[in-house]
């Protein structure tokens, strides 16, 4: 049975993230559980999500003129470009050249990006959470691991 928090996260990812055709529900549930682990790790101080400006972004990426692209940024229709770095201990994953809507890093896509990056660090998240809680929080950690899906061996 899925708790209310996971259900709400699932609904968000189902509506806002892209998945392989026919696997949308599976991907949304995996993202919901990964985001939950990431938030727990951030709350424990063992993981960080950092957004920064991407100064090396190439405007020529789009099928538009540089002037048209600049107009999108100048009008605040687009914000960024940004880079996102998710770090757990000594491991990190990043993505650069992220263009978001007018809400900047509060854009729903930003949440999807951070969660996707965290998905590549699931084993590190689990280990960091477990280490941070030590033996005092082992039952809660085991519950978090069991509701995160997978076996903790890197399955997506």
pLDDT one-digit tens code per residue, 33-72 = 999 999 999 999 999 999 999 988 776 667 888 888 889 9
Rounded to 10°, the helix 138-147/122-133 angle is: 160
User: How many domains does the structure of the chain reveal?
Assistant: 1
Peptide linkage before 98 cis (omega within 30 of 0): no
pLDDT tens per residue across span 82-127 = 999 999 999 999 999 999 999 999 999 999 999 999 999 999 998 9
- Enter the pTM of the model: 0.80
Residue 116 lies in a domain: yes
Tell me, rounded to whole angstroms, the distance of Cα 38 from its chain centroid.
8
Q: How far apart are CA 44 and CA 129, in angstroms?
A: 7
Residue 153 lies in a domain: no
Structure tokens, 156: 């997506």
Residue 75 lies in a domain: yes
């Amino acid at each position: 049975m899925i708790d209310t928090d996971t259900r709400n996260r699932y609904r968000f990812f189902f509506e806002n993230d892209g998945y392989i055709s026919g696997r949308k529900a599976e991907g949304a549930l995996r993202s919901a559980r990964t985001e939950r682990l990431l938030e727990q790790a951030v709350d424990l101080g063992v993981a960080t999500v950092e957004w920064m400006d991407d100064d090396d972004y190439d405007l020529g990426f789009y099928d538009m003129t540089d002037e048209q692209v600049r107009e999108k940024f100048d009008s605040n229709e687009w914000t960024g470009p940004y880079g996102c770095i998710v770090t757990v201990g000594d491991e990190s994953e990043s993505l650069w050249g992220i263009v978001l809507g007018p809400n900047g890093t509060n854009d729903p896509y930003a949440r999807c990006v951070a969660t996707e990056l965290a998905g590549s660090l699931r084993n590190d998240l689990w280990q960091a959470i477990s280490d941070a809680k030590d033996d005092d929080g082992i039952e809660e950690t085991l519950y978090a691991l069991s509701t995160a899906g997978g076996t903790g061996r890197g399955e997506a």
